[in-house]
Chains A and B, each alone.
Chain A
Amino acid sequence: LTEQILVQHELFMKDLPDLERVDSLAKVNGAAKFPTDMQMEGMLWGAVLGSKYAHALIRQINTEKAARLPGVRAVITHLDIPAEKNHGLLAPDQPILCWDRVRCIGDNIAAVAADTKEQAEAAVEAIEVDYEPLPVLTDMEEALKPDAIKIHPQGNICRYARVTVGDVEADFKRAHIVVENTYETGVQLQLPLETEGGLAYYEDGVLYVYTGGQIPYASQLQLSRSLNIPPDNIRVYHNPTGGAFGSKIDLPVSLILGLLAVKTRRPVKMFLSREETTRLSAWRHPMKITMKTAADKDGRLLAHKVRILANTGAYTSFGPTVLDVCMETSVGPYKWRSVDVEGYSIFTNYGLSGAFRGFGAPQANVALESQINATADRLGMDPLEFRKQNVVKVGETSVWGHREGGKAGIYDTLLEAEKTDLWINRSRIKQGSTRPWIKIGVGISAAMKGVGYGATPDTAAALISMKNDGTVEVGVSPVEIGQGNMTGYAAIASEILRCDVREIRVSTGNTDVPNAGGSSASKALYVGGSALANAAKDLVCRILAQASKMLSRPIEELDYKDLKVFVKDEPSTSVSFAEVVGALGGELRVEGQFDVPRASSAIPGSLQIPHIIHSYASTIAQVEVNTMTGVVKVKRIIFIPEAGRVINRDAFIGQCVGGVVQGMGFGLYEDAVFNKGLLKTNNFTTYIIPAAGDIPRIDVIPVDGYEESGPLGVKGVAELPVVPIASAILDAIHDAVGIRLLQVPATPERIYAMLQHKT
């Protein structure tokens, strides 16, 4: 019956009008309460003591003095953790509060709850820790040596993996050219606008946690493991989080808040400074990637050998899966006869690397796309033509054995790139400099990014409910972290219900709604939205079935709009959804499911690749290089994504622009400076991210796609735009001044040094 109704009524087949965000007004006028805005009667303030060293043994922790200070209500250490003392979603190996050893500056040792923030901070300073400093291991090659100091008992290799297809060595022998280079990418900090913090309280055996986060049920699970409270008695509220790019999946602060709240039986608030947030948040893995790439004389790519060293810092976090995505992305959207990809995820005392928008893909892209451009150079081929000749088109099969489905893909973005004025006129644009020391260049790159968790099983549930007063509520767990998924969910429900989007109340980012996962892996819309679409369709079917009884007409004769069912030929004969719901008992709650389609098994040697759904993009960058200073100004970026159907164009473009700027930061500006494992650039003054004056004209030209594996036609675009920007800029720098940097960020000093070296 459901299928029949769906076909008859062409549910969800139209495009949506431009939408105002459902959460915009509250965020503009200040009514929205972010986790760090929370306050409660009788609230205490929390503070945390971080490690002073990147690597040291802890001989003793003395909290007596701190505990006696005025206003102090609790001082906690590892002894106060009732159950699992480590956290980490993949492998719990990161101490919530350290006891015998610190392994990076992100480590925490103790925490305090006091009447005021000042008292809490004074108490933290009064905690005495007796350290015995150990050698600080930051270099990956050093960490791999057999005699290196072991950061964990099992050694310094978090994970080693290798996947091969075909015989690269044989293909290298028959190759016309072989290009080999080693690339290095730096630490990139995440810097969401809202720093870490929030509020927790414990009441009648139930723990309530309001913090910034991304995956509510994963937070609940980790809190439950460590606090020894059943998951059902932990309510997590992450919505709305003031920005998140991956590091808020880890949750050191939520765990500490929970511990303090249980210990004091009072609400406890924490609101960390930018410097503290930076210290304990995961950043982008610095990597060293060697690639050997071969092509034949006709410009066909043959073989690709890749060796990845990923610096995962002191703990596992998402190191193993970041390595997987990096390996998958290191071969890109290209057709190869053979590939041989190996990777190491390596423990060091270099802070904590983890999930960060792009998840290993931006690093792989810098290396791969530089290789592709260098190979085209060597062949004397146009880099865009070269790509067109070598990418996997719709209907073709990738090197991982996955057949490209959908309506459009990487090839279509290249066709669009070819038509842009910047690409067509690039020779003329290069002549436009008015100063002898300014050189102009135009560069290109391509990108792919898997959507979702690849071959890992992933099932989502979403709720739609309707009351007999006509109110519609949807519940989908991925957190609104600024990307606009609340609006996406409202749009999906309103389109299927054929009502005004303002009729839909949206609840996201908490454990009161069913589990549709989180805002991660570019999947909040695809996965959560698909479960919701299934729920909404089911709701409509049930309402039509009941209305058919109430109006004594067969379903075929009925239609519906604006929350009313009516007879097609006689619209005045109708019944409202509210009346139907009344007849069904006063409330209709429908859960929808979505099983994320995936490859039947992971590639031997990998954890979760391949993804079978990828978003793609081509990027063109125009830069000016000051040859006397090494300063690069990005003058223009054209970003051409194919991410399936676009259901909210403004939000889609907004995501892309933000990602492009973050990609510029990764490629040019964001240089984390360390001394003995201590981060020296830990705030907005010292760590340079692009600001308004640096942001060029950015054109986003979405290519119309349609992903057939879900009910919405969407894929995901969240991470994609951060992936290809650095490589396009590096290519533009090469076009301007003839040097290919093998390192990002391409800071002025690095470019200057290379220019000096060249002359």
Chain B
Amino acid sequence: MLGKVEVYTPRSLREALTELSHADEDVKIIAGGTDLIIQLKDRLRHASRLINIYGLDELRYIRMDDGYVKIGALTTYTDIIRSPITTRHAPLLVESSRTIGGVQMQNRGTIGGNFGNASPAADSLPPLYALDAVVTLASLSGSREVPVEEFMLGPRKTVLRADEIITEVKFRAMDDSQKGVFLKLGLRESNAISVVSVAIWGSIAGSTFEEVRIALGAVAPTVVRSRSAEHMLVGKPWSDELFKKAAHEASKSAKPISDIRGSAEYRLEMVKSLVYQGLWEIREKVKND
């Protein structure tokens, strides 16, 4: 039961930040509400007052700026799926957006909200880890930029201060020499929470990675990068052997738990399977170029 909650709807980011500057712990920011409403009903979070920023169109955009793709925090997954900019310059983020919830949630849910909710199984995060994205956090006293990898501290724990709002996420636009892939293992095709997800970004020369980033979702308290697997891949000629070794190495970065969706043992195995399949798919994309 949701009970009684007071909702304040600011007309601008500045109004929102002003309101937030003198708010206490019981005040929560709400955007699409696809996570928060359920958590309030189930009493997983508590709020006596909500600041509803969903109408702040100034935070809803996808644009190119000096080689960077910049995405406003209130941009929905549907916006990302439909945008020519993300389709061309961040295809793995588009792939992941398509797997989030169902169409209704893609229409309603926002990328900023996916950050704020801070679930290790959040599907937009592995691609943003792989893209080495940076998050902008704003408060009345100014704004700061935090690398995505440093933003989340654990399940539902982030570096976000009580007076701050997530306003933007940005990353370097992908070009034709770079490939990305997002693979998700869920228990059904749509409306499924990830058992394991993997995002891979690679900068490719011939049949090797010049640089590669591998991010794993739902297998640790936060999304994690597997730097040892990345290191193993850089500069080496592609082969099934190499992909298998790297996939095995990547599983060492995972510290999964057992829950109703899968056992820890299965998740570890699935990291290997998905990283291997992801590398295979990148090679396939290069072949088809």
B52 to chain A, nearest CB (A): 22
The interface size of chain A toward B, counting residues with CB under 8 Å, comes to 28
For A686, list chain B residues within 8 Å (CB).
Answer: 260
- Does A693 count as interface, using CB distance less than 8 angstroms? yes
For A748, list chain B residues within 8 Å (CB).
Answer: 185, 187, 195
A201 to chain B, nearest CB (A): 25
- Does A697 count as interface, using CB distance less than 8 angstroms? no
Q: Which parts of A568-601 form the interface with B (CB within 8 Å)?
A: none
Assess A669 versus B277: contact at CB under 8 Å? Given A686-B260, A749-B263, A752-B269. no
- Does B44 count as interface, using CB distance less than 8 angstroms? no
Whether the Cβ atoms of B189 and A628 lie closer than 8 Å is no
For A692, list chain B residues within 8 Å (CB).
Answer: 102, 190
Identity of the chain A residue whose Cβ is nearest the Cβ of B281 in the assembled complex: A435
Whether the Cβ atoms of B266 and A691 lie closer than 8 Å is no
Whether the Cβ atoms of B189 and A693 lie closer than 8 Å is yes
- Does A88 count as interface, using CB distance less than 8 angstroms? no
Whether the Cβ atoms of B3 and A688 lie closer than 8 Å is no
- Does A431 count as interface, using CB distance less than 8 angstroms? no
- B-contact bits for A689-703, CB 8 A (1 contact / 0 none): 011111000000000
Q: Which residue of A117, A437, A691 is within 8 Å of B190 (Cβ)?
A: A691
Q: Which residue of B189, B274, B280 is within 8 Å of A691 (Cβ)?
A: B189
- Does A602 count as interface, using CB distance less than 8 angstroms? no
Q: Which residue of A118, A437, A753 is within 8 Å of B3 (Cβ)?
A: A118
- Does A631 count as interface, using CB distance less than 8 angstroms? yes
A-B pairs with beta carbons under 8 Å apart, 14 shown: A118-B3, A437-B273, A629-B273, A669-B188, A673-B260, A692-B190, A693-B188, A693-B190, A694-B189, A694-B190, A748-B185, A748-B187, A749-B262, A749-B266
9 A-B pairs with least C-beta separation? A693-B189, A628-B273, A693-B190, A688-B187, A673-B260, A749-B266, A694-B189, A694-B188, A691-B191
Assess A688 versus B273: contact at CB under 8 Å? Given A118-B1, A121-B1, A673-B260. no
Q: Which parts of B242-289 form the interface with A (CB within 8 Å)?
A: 260, 262-263, 266, 269-270, 273-274, 276-277, 280
The interface size of chain B toward A, counting residues with CB under 8 Å, comes to 24
- Does A65 count as interface, using CB distance less than 8 angstroms? no
In the docked arrangement, what's the CA distance between A489 and B191, Å?
38
**Which chain A residues have a beta carbon within 8 Å of chain B's beta carbons?**
117-118, 121, 435, 437, 628-629, 631, 633, 669, 673, 680-681, 684-686, 688, 690-694, 747-749, 752-753, 756
For B269, list chain A residues within 8 Å (CB).
Answer: 752, 756
In the docked arrangement, what's the CA distance between A693 and B186, Å?
12
In the docked arrangement, what's the CA distance between A619 and B100, Å?
33
Interface SS majority for chain B: loop
For A685, list chain B residues within 8 Å (CB).
Answer: 38, 193
For B260, list chain A residues within 8 Å (CB).
Answer: 673, 680-681, 686
In the docked arrangement, what's the CA distance between A16 and B260, Å?
49
For B189, list chain A residues within 8 Å (CB).
Answer: 633, 691, 693-694
A81 to chain B, nearest CB (A): 28
7 additional contacts (CB under 8 A) given A686-B260, A748-B185, A749-B263: A117-B1, A437-B273, A684-B191, A688-B187, A691-B188, A693-B190, A747-B187
In the docked arrangement, what's the CA distance between A726 and B121, Å?
30
For B273, list chain A residues within 8 Å (CB).
Answer: 437, 628-629
In the docked arrangement, what's the CA distance between A496 and B189, Å?
47
Q: Which parts of B1-36 form the interface with A (CB within 8 Å)?
A: 1, 3
- Does B192 count as interface, using CB distance less than 8 angstroms? yes
Whether the Cβ atoms of B277 and A752 lie closer than 8 Å is no
Interface centre among A118, A629, A748 (most CB of B within 10 A): A629
Whether the Cβ atoms of B192 and A628 lie closer than 8 Å is no
Q: Which parts of B173-207 form the interface with A (CB within 8 Å)?
A: 185, 187-193, 195
